[in-house]
Amino acid sequence: MPTTAFVAVHAGAGYHSLVSEEQVKKSLRLACRQALSVISHASTPLELVEEAISALENDPSLNAGHGSNLTIDGTVECDAALMEDSGRFGSVGAVSGIKNPIRLARSILDYSQVPDPLGRVPPLTLVSEGARAFAQRHPRDKVQLVQPESLISEKARERWQHWKRRLESTPAVNCGDDSDFHDIQDTVGAVASFDGHMSAGVSSGGLLLKCPGRTGEAAVYGAGCWAQPGMACSISGTGEYITRANLARSLGRALAAELREDYADPHEVLEHTLTKEFWDPSRSLGEHYPNAGVLLMTAGVGTRARLWCAFTTPTMAIAYASSTNPKPKVLILRRPQKSSGSGNETVRIFLTAFAL
């Protein structure tokens, strides 16, 4: 009996305006369809994740690949990672001039399986010029080297110009209304289940006006994505706080611990992990509204795959599809507004689940 393939994608946790909603939904639909298009020759869910994220990176309206946020110097530096439930992992950080950073992350993951004549340990992560040099030294058809400037979208340039002027003209003690600035820090990602295995991935252009050389959670092992038998997750949000929490790995460990006790409630694990490993520590460091979003897929032996989404931001955009139900289901999930109170002391996690 053919194995059903499941794929789910996200366009980040943040704020998706009604104006941008249709474009985001269109991008997510395309990503699901591109992922499912490779099923006929795919051997692992890793290929579905790579294809889905590649499609998102090609959309100039999203903060990944072409369209990424610009550094303080006005350049594009991207992070991306892939992981299989076997533990294999590959990532790139602060890389420029690569059309699809997720494909280079795949190359690094695959390289780890090549025997080294001297027994050298292969890298998990390569950054900046080292990552680009690896792409030149180990060419792969799908990895395209391009002029770094070609990855700058008009929208990203306009945002950079606007906020660079604000930064240079506004006293540090009074940044004014910067809510729109924090709405555009999102990350994209995907998770998939196929033939009894699971994979996860993530890609991001990082923070707007970030320091050159900065790497976010999308490049860090255990932070931006995680896959293990029975689960795969992709994370979006404020990279530094997600990295401190090693959030994706923390979630995987918590689920594994529950399974060892013959009991696992992903809803409970998600809520507890986001609160104790992310929200509370971030608040203790002075972050009033820690931003994170989690897309989690679970699939036990003989059980139907299930999708979970949890986020602390106003919205999170997701989509999912399968080989048996190939029409993508697309959702802009919106966290209900509090009716009263500042909300500063309350953990603001919106959590929902879908049967696949």
Q: Which domains does the chain have, with CATH numbers?
A: 6-355 (3.60.20.30)
CB 267 within 8 A of CB 308: yes
8 Å CB contact between 188 and 204:
yes
In the prediction, which pLDDT does 342 show? Answer: 47
Tokens representing 201 are 């991935």
The whole-model pTM stands at 0.93
Query: Is pLDDT larger for residue 263 or for residue 298?
Result: 298
pLDDT at 262 over 90: no
Summarize the confidence of residues 81-99 as an average pLDDT.
Answer: 98
Greatest pairwise CA separation for the chain in angstroms: 65
The candidate with the shortest Cα–Cα distance to 124, out of 91, 152, 166, 160, is 91
The pLDDT value given to residue 235: 98
Beta bridge partners of 201: 82, 190
pLDDT digits (tens, 9 = 90+) for 92-141: 999 999 999 999 999 999 999 999 999 999 999 999 999 999 999 998 88
- Comparing 222 with 337, the larger pLDDT belongs to 222
Lowest mean pLDDT among 81-85, 104-108, 241-245, 265-269: 265-269
Is a pLDDT exceeding 60 seen at residue 60?
A: yes
Rounded CA gap, 309 and 311, in Å?
7
Inform me whether the pLDDT recorded for 230 exceeds 70.
yes
What is the pLDDT, as a whole number, of residue 174?
A: 45
* Catalytic site includes residue 3: no
pLDDT at 329: 98
d(CA 76, CA 149): 8
Q: Which residues of 241-276 are buried (b: 16+ CB within 10 A; e: fewer)?
A: bbbbbbbbbbbbbbbeebeeeeebebeebbbebbee
- Summarised one tens digit per residue, pLDDT across range 288-347 is 889 999 999 998 766 778 999 999 999 999 999 999 999 999 999 998 876 444 445 566
Given 187, 273, 298, 312, the catalytic residue: 187
Residue 163 pLDDT greater than 90, yes or no = yes
Report the alpha-carbon distance of residue 193 to residue 45 in Å, rounded: 6
Looking at residue 289, what is its pLDDT?
Answer: 87
Residue 1 — pLDDT band, cuts 50, 70, 90? very low
